[in-house]
Structure 1
Amino acid sequence: MSSGPSSLGFYVTGTLLLLACAMKLPALVRRRHDTLLQAACLLLFSAACLMLLAAPESIVAINRLTRIPNATAPLVYAMTTAFSGATLVLIVNWRSSREQTRRITRLVAGAYSLTIIAILVLFWAGDASVEQVTLFDAYYAGTPYIREMIVTYLVAQAVAMTAASTLCWRWSAKVRGSLRAGLRILAPAYLFIVSYDLIRLVAVAGRWSGRNWDFLIGEVSPQLAVPSSVLGAAGFALPLAGPRLAATARALRQLKQLAPLWKALEHVPTPGAIRVPLPWWRTPPTVLLTGRRTALHDAILALAPYCDPAVHQAAYSADLRHGSQESRAAVAANAAMILVARERQRTAPEEVRDTSHASTWRSDDLVHLSQALASPVVQRVCEQYGPPRRTTSP
């Protein structure tokens, strides 16, 4: 029995793939007729079983449990073929139109189902009585029926992976974002598997010609199994997680941009508005952003009765003289007016100005408003139009 690679990498990868498959089961129950989802679950399950069964320790355990030498070989090869077929079905359903998918799915499913049956029949017809944990393909490369089984599974997988890699690469040129990134990861992941198949076929052909290239099977090809599985899982996960990650990144960026405005208006009283505490450490960024935007709009609305058009005009004119464009000057004017209104609400809440213009006035984009707070023009106008002095009745 030859020493082989450690089983740990196989078990870790297989467990992660099983967890990914389990996460999709609730969706599969709800959408039982979704061919794309079915193919995804089959791919993840077959890949997980393949990694768990192909671990050297699993091979020995199953052989001992069944009392059949090399009983794991047809199981692993059948799972390999199922994985290959599921990969092609998934890629086709992912990309093609509904009419194309039905026809191609039936063709692929039929072809690879027959291949699995052929593998099992060939193993039953052949003689593989000497246990081989890591060098099965090389040891039985010349055994009738067993050699045909070996070539069948390697060719079936190589054809499917080559087709999948080609489809992914061509499709990636037509899409953008996380889907493109996922496809660009999947294409080389499948080429890793093609390389795995070709290396083993070379070793098998070496046995046919009397050469001993068993190290290609025992040492070289196993090194490609784990990275190809990890890349494959990442390639499928990225298009699913990508939009959510992008939304989270956008939310975090906007939260950072809104920080100056939030700091300025956080403690503005907003009668009638309900503020729910949203601790940042346990609130998703997208939810936190929505809550913060709502609170800022409520604060600006509460300050509307204290907004002074004279402050707005002064800041607008000053910013134009400072060299700003009209749109930026308008944002700076609103920022100055809001800051002055905040101080007037704080120091003289009873002195409410004419609100006839408040209902028609609308705030600019909050991010632009927040960025305008740093303008030196806004700071000067705020100092000039600070809170008015209180007057006493005669």
Structure 2
Amino acid sequence: MSVVVYVAAGVLALSGAVLFRRPRAGVRAVRNPLTVSTCAAIALGALVLVCSAPLTLAAVNDLTGVPNFGAPLTYGMLSAYSCSLFILLINWRGGSRERIRRMVLLGIAAYGALIVAIVVLFALADAHTERLTDLDTYYADTPFMREMIVLYLVGHSVATIGLCAVGVKWGREVTGLLRTGLRLILIGSMLDVLGFQLTKYTAVVARWTGHDLDFLSTVIAPPMASLGALTCSVGFVLPRLLPSLAAHWHSLRDLRTLGPLWSSLRFASTAPPPPGSWWRLPRERLQWREVAIHDALLALAPYFDDRVRERALGGALRAGRSAHRARLMAEAAMLCDAVRQAAARARPLETPSGYRLHATTSAGTNGLAELVELAQEFTRSSHVGTVRVGTVTATPDRTRGAP
């Protein structure tokens, strides 16, 4: 059981680290109360899982020399996690800075008092028999321990039920990834409420009434708590991380599409080598490659021949191509011709074309889209193989520094 709990804690902690240290967000994350409270909730959830593992409980008990000392430590951590959920709810709801600050301090005071009460009740209780997996039910009838167990469960229930209520309300008001994230948080909170808290309550009350349902607390509750925490962490991270991952995936796709074009044009580019190394993010590599290709296109402009472009355009239109596709085919043909002439060290045209490629006249994402389309058409051209051989042969020393 300890291994499963440790794995769940590790995944939980990793999701928090990724959310906090996602690309270009580190400094902004420190200044964003919502991000800080989310990461704090995830981190404390991971600590609760680590503390609740039987191996950790045994180690804590041995180190302190106090039987069951791991119990108030775990319950205190769980109360701190509940407090972080309460603070997260406050930041989600928003409002004036003063109101948020007042509510946060109120939540910290309430759960701080709960943690103190847990420690005091444990100190007053007679709990000298070490129990690593069934402490809640074993000491369910023991004075002070009974109150401690009820207090930590009630404190955790207040926070998670509030999280469920907010998830249900806001799930109807938002759309897209945010709605998906809220639904995952709601599912995780319900797993916690029904799979962990309800089973704990049931097992403890069964002990009070003279029945034995300990398996609910020892067998069902721990994995359900781990599953609920993991589901909530996915709900927290998904809406904030997935758009960035999708953007990098699209950048990697465009980077690979531009590869053949860059292989043919790199000899003409005077752009400096890219900073960093192979592990740079796809978006950064794409930005450098786009700049380098534009630099090469500018260098090849004196070799652009309108006659080549016009012949290719007329042939494409006669073949039934759309105006857009015909224009791309004509530009690719003119570019192929310019690359061959430049690679062969031919003299530039005396009267070069004044035509400008659409990829160099469009800005932003439109410019990148035009460049990707031009690269695709360039790759389809039957001249690409010849161009690539001539390029590499003519300038073997220009092949370094490409991302």
State TM-score, norm by structure 1: 0.80
Deviates most, 241-250 or 27-36: 27-36
User: Of 308, 317, 320, which residue of structure 2 is paired with 1:320?
Assistant: 317
Offset from partner CA, 1:25-57 (integer Å, 9 cap, x none): 9x9999877543553454244323322221213
Aligned length: 369
In the other structure, the counterpart of 1:371 is 376
In the other structure, the counterpart of 1:191 is 190
Note the C-alpha offset of 1:240. 4.5
Q: Is the 8 A contact 1:189 1:229 kept in 2?
A: yes
Cα distance in 1 for partners of 2:201, 2:91 equals 30
Distance 1:356 1:66, change over 3 A: closer
In the other structure, the counterpart of 2:157 is 158
Indicate the structure (1 or 2) with the bigger Cα radius of gyration. Answer: 1
Note the C-alpha offset of 1:77. 1.2
Q: Does 2:333 align with 1:333?
A: no
In the other structure, the counterpart of 1:141 is 140
Q: Cα RMSD (Å) of the superposition?
A: 3.4
Q: Is the 8 A contact 2:331 2:357 kept in 1?
A: no
Q: Secondary structure at the match of 1:363?
A: helix
Note the C-alpha offset of 1:89. 1.2
User: Of 306, 310, 324, which residue of structure 1 is paired with 2:307?
Assistant: 310
Cα distance in 2 for partners of 1:29, 1:184 equals 29
Cα distance in 2 for partners of 1:158, 1:353 equals 81
Amino acid at match of 2:359: S
In structure 1, the gaps of 5 or more residues are 1-5, 384-394
Q: Is the 8 A contact 1:308 1:353 kept in 2?
A: no
Task: After TM superposition, list the pairs within 5 Å mapping 1:172-251 onto structure 2.
Answer: 172=171, 174-175=173-174, 179-194=178-193, 195-251=195-251
Identity of aligned residues (%): 36
Cα distance in 2 for partners of 1:101, 1:146 equals 35
Cα distance in 1 for partners of 2:252, 2:188 equals 32
Q: Is the 8 A contact 1:255 1:289 kept in 2?
A: yes
Q: Is the 8 A contact 1:91 1:168 kept in 2?
A: no
Offset from partner CA, 1:44-72 (integer Å, 9 cap, x none): 44323322221213323333443433222
Distance 1:30 1:207, change over 3 A: same
Cα distance in 2 for partners of 1:340, 1:110 equals 75
Deviates most, 9-18 or 159-168: 9-18
Note the C-alpha offset of 1:249. 0.2
Q: Does 2:14 align with 1:9?
A: no
Q: Is the 8 A contact 2:312 2:330 kept in 1?
A: yes
Cα distance in 1 for partners of 2:345, 2:218 equals 84
Task: After TM superposition, list the pairs within 5 Å mapping 1:39-188 onto structure 2.
Answer: 39-94=37-92, 96-99=94-97, 101-168=100-167, 170-172=169-171, 174-175=173-174, 179-188=178-187
In structure 2, the gaps of 5 or more residues are 361-369, 387-403
Amino acid at match of 1:286: R
Cα distance in 2 for partners of 1:59, 1:363 equals 63
Note the C-alpha offset of 1:276. 1.2
Cα distance in 2 for partners of 1:32, 1:260 equals 41
Deviates most, 246-255 or 137-146: 137-146
Distance 1:244 1:372, change over 3 A: same
Deviates most, 194-203 or 364-373: 364-373
Cα distance in 2 for partners of 1:35, 1:280 equals 34
Q: Is the 8 A contact 2:305 2:352 kept in 1?
A: no
Note the C-alpha offset of 1:366. 0.4
Offset from partner CA, 1:70-117 (integer Å, 9 cap, x none): 222222111111101102212431453444633542343333223223
Q: Is the 8 A contact 1:306 1:353 kept in 2?
A: no
Q: Is the 8 A contact 1:334 1:363 kept in 2?
A: no
Amino acid at match of 1:368: E
Distance 1:177 1:134, change over 3 A: same
